[in-house]
Amino acid sequence: MTDTSPTHVAIIMDGNGRWAQMRNRPRLIGHHAGARRVKEIVRSCPELGVDYLTVFAFSTENWKRTQTEVAGLMRLFKRYIRREAQSLFDENVCVRFIGDRVRLEPTLVDLMDGLELMTAENTGTNLTIALNYGGRDEVTRAARRLANDVKMGKLDPRKICDETFPRYLDTHVLPDPDLVIRTSGEARISNFLLWQSAYSEYEFIDTLWPDFTPEVFAEVLERFGTRERRFGAVLV
């Protein structure tokens, strides 16, 4: 890819359930197909010039789905970590999770913590998985931590600015996304990276997530390279 490739790409992985239903299969079959696609996309990042990849795996609103689907997704997350941990380490991928872990099963949280620790020193692709994540929830938790620091005398409220607040977000160690992609034809951001994506480019595509191949990914990145990013300024 050229030097116009985005450094950080965030993806709302939508369409797993519809992909399965179109094939007269249970929705969870689509989620398993989607998990396999994540592996391929992560592997394609170095060649495509993407240093940071953030994927939206489970939102704070997804608890509203049926108990069967939620339970199946939680099993899938645990299975994915157990099966892919060694490969992610061997491929030099650094894995982080963002989101509120309080509601997650202790077994899953232990696996998440273990994978983060295992890959912490890796220097290749930075993979961030948003699990039980919501943009409003993240901002609320960040504001609570900031308010506590003010209360404890650790932070002067007069010095709070738009560079202070991001240090309290889940993504404080990550650059803001250059590009946000949503698959499956839906054209909304669904409470994803609300603060961080203020100046991100967006790409809404019809492809369902299990069909989002590295080739489709490359095409989207090529289109990104043709965009003129002004960040509120006027280029002359």
Q: Is 61 annotated as a binding residue?
A: yes
Catalytic entry in 14, 126, 132, 178:
14
Residue 171 annotated as binding site: no
Is 190 marked as a binding-site residue? yes
Sheet arrangement for strand 201-204: 94-98, 126-133, 52-59, 8-12, 179-182, 201-204
Out of 3, 24, 51, 62, pick the active-site residue: 62
Pairing status of strand 179-182 against strand 8-12:
parallel
Q: Is 59 annotated in some ligand binding site? A: yes
The answer to whether 65 is annotated as binding is yes
Q: Tell whether 83 is in a known binding site.
A: no
The encoded tokens of residue 122 equal 């890796």
Residue 62 is a catalytic residue:
yes
* Amino acid in the structure at residue 56: F
Is 182 a known ligand-binding residue?
yes
27 among the known binding-site residues? yes
Is 32 marked within a binding site?
Answer: no
Tell me 192's DSSP state.
Answer: -
Whether residue 170 lies in the annotated active site: no
Dihedral of CA 111/76/142/55: which sign? positive
Taking the C-alpha atoms of 156, 162, 165 and 166 in order, what is their torsion angle to the nearest 10 degrees? -140
Main-chain phi, psi angles of 15, to 5 degrees: 110, 5
Binding site for substrate, by residue number, is: 15-19, 27, 31, 59-61, 63, 65, 182, 188-190
Residues catalogued as catalytic: 14, 62
Binding site for Mg(2+), by residue number, is: 14, 201
Binding site, by residue number, is: 14-19, 27, 31, 59-61, 63, 65, 182, 188-190, 201
